[in-house]
Structures are given as structure tokens and as C-alpha cells.
Amino acid sequence: MQFWIIQTLNSLALGGLLFLLSAGFSLIFGLMRIANLTHGALFMLGAYVGVTILRVVPDLWLAALLGGLLVAAFGGLLERFILRALAGNALGQVLVTLGVAFIIADFCLIVWGGDPIPVPTPEYLRRPLIVAGVAFPTYRLVVIGIAIVTAIVLHLLMERTRLGAMIRAGVDDMQMARAVGIPVSRLFTIVFCLGSALAGAGGIIGGPILSAYPGLDFEMLPLALIIVILGGVGSLVGAFVGSFIIGFIYTFGSALLPDLAYVILFLPMIFVIAFRPRGLFGRLGT
């Protein structure tokens, strides 16, 4: 019983972290039509930056905020000065994001070394929550809560504001969006900063669960890819549902059938690509 409850909570918490990662990945993919392959590296960079910030300000949430802002600034610079110069060259842009991902990985290795760095769980969240004799890990519950709140805020931003409608207009028909005066290139920067901030903050918030270690980047990136293909490019609801599906598959797959973890992960993606190329909630064909 405890096994199933713990694994379920682990799945949900991982799903929540994956949502922080893949929401931005999906929006960037939907609007700019590029798979941002630095996204996993931004997550890892967030985790490492968080480690350093925590040495100065010992508050995880403040560290997540500051780290998120720093990673957002980095993402914004990457978009404005490198990706924009390659506008219209999608392959070039994707390759650049891959190159930057490797550079970030080396940078992290030099600065923070090769050993995993644990991120301490905040003191007040260490005691498990006991309900009806079952112990629930409190921090994981908080992570799930953060993911849900973030999803609601992002949903309201996308569906209830003019900015969100402009972004969706760009996803629908970028050229026409420009022709009605929507400042599409500014939207690119905004979406890229937002996606980077979420990934960076996700890395720090995920720290107490995953810790910071070399290789975290390319462990997360394929998951984001699978989620976005599963959920549908540019769809927040898709990213949300996809994140939790993958959270469950990954957690239970590794626990029950560790040898087949990747088969179990990629199989649903292959089925979706074959039978529903727009993803479960997507509007774009990819």
C-alpha cells in the first residue's frame, strides 16, 4: 500500500516538474516553430544556479525566483542575439540551441564539478504528512501544488488576456498575425523568457527531489519532447496532461520494469506520432 501511494506521489511530483519544463517548451515550439534543445540545459542551469544562490540566501522559494529570473535573462539574450539572427532558418536555430545546450553543460561541469550536488528540502517541509496512518512526503505535495497553480496562471494568461490571444494568433497564422500589427518578434522574446524562467525555476524546485548533477539536462530534454509530441505542440492543456502521463510512466516504469524504462516511455510517443500526429490536444501538425 505504502509503495503504491509513494510511487503515485512521486509520479505526480515528477509530472509537476515536467510541466514546469514542458509548458515553456511547448509554447516556444508552437509559436516559433523550433524545438528549443537548450530547454533541458536551462532546467539544469536553474538547478545549479539555485545551489549557488542557496549558499547566499537560504530560502528555496527566493532562490527559485532569482534563479528563474537569471535563466529568463539568459534565454532572452539567446533569443534576441542568436536565434533572431537566424530567423527563417529553423534547422539553423535548432542546431544552435543544441550547441548552446552543450556549452551550458560544459560550463556547469567547470563551475560546479562532476559530483551530484544535493539540494536540501526546506526544514519545515521535511516532516511527512500523516493522514489515516499513511505518510505523505510533504515536499512532493507542495511541488504538485506549485505545478497546478502555475498551470492555472498560465492558462489565464493565455486564454484571458490580450497578450495570450496575440500569442495564440501567432501560433494560428504567424504571417497574418504580423499583418494585423501584432509585434511577433517581441512575443518571441517574451515567450522565450517565460519558458526559460519556468525551466530554470523548475530546476531549482526539483532540486530536493532530483538534485543537481551533470547529465540532468539530457535526461529532461527527451521527456519534454515526448510530452509535447504526446500533448500537442503549443497546447498548454496538452503539456499538462502529457506531463502527468509521462510522470507516471517514467516513475512506475523505472520501479517495476527498470530494463524497459525507455521502451515504455517512447512507445506511446511512437503511437501518437503514427495515429494522431497533432497530439492529444494539439492544433498544429508537426
Residue 278 binds another protein, judged by CB under 8 A: no
Min separation Cβ 31 and another protein, Å: 13
Helix (H, G, I), strand (E, B) or coil at 276: coil
| Stretch near another protein under the rule CB under 8 A, chosen from 64-72, 93-101, 175-183, 189-197 | 175-183
Phi, psi for residue 135 in degrees, rounded to 5: -90, 120
In DSSP notation, 89-140 reads -HHHHHHHHHHHHHHHHHHHHHHH-SS-B--PPPGGG-SPEEETTEEE-HHH
55 versus 162: smaller Cβ distance to another protein = 162
- Interacting positions 149-168 with another protein (CB under 8 A): 162, 165-166, 168
Q: How far is the CB of 185 from another protein (least distance, A)?
A: 8
Q: Least CB distance from residue 173 to another protein, whole Å?
A: 6
Based on the shown chain and the rule CB under 8 A, indicate whether residue 181 belongs to the binding site for another protein.
yes
What backbone phi and psi angles, to 5 degrees, belong to 58?
A: -80, 55
The nearer residue to another protein, 171 or 194, going by C-beta atoms, is: 171
Classify 87 as helix, strand or coil: coil
| Under rule CB under 8 A, residue 175 binds another protein | yes
CB of 127 to another protein, least distance (A): 46
Distance separating alpha carbons of residues 190 and 248, to the nearest angstrom = 31
Quick one: how many helices (H) and strands (E) in the chain? 11, 2
Instruction: Report helix, strand or coil for 36.
Output: coil
Q: How far is the CB of 151 from another protein (least distance, A)?
A: 19
Q: Are 89 and 206 in contact (CB under 8 A)?
A: no
Binding mask 114-153 for another protein (x = CB under 8 A): ----------------------------------------
Which positions lie near another protein, rule CB under 8 A? 162, 165-166, 168-169, 171-173, 175-185, 283
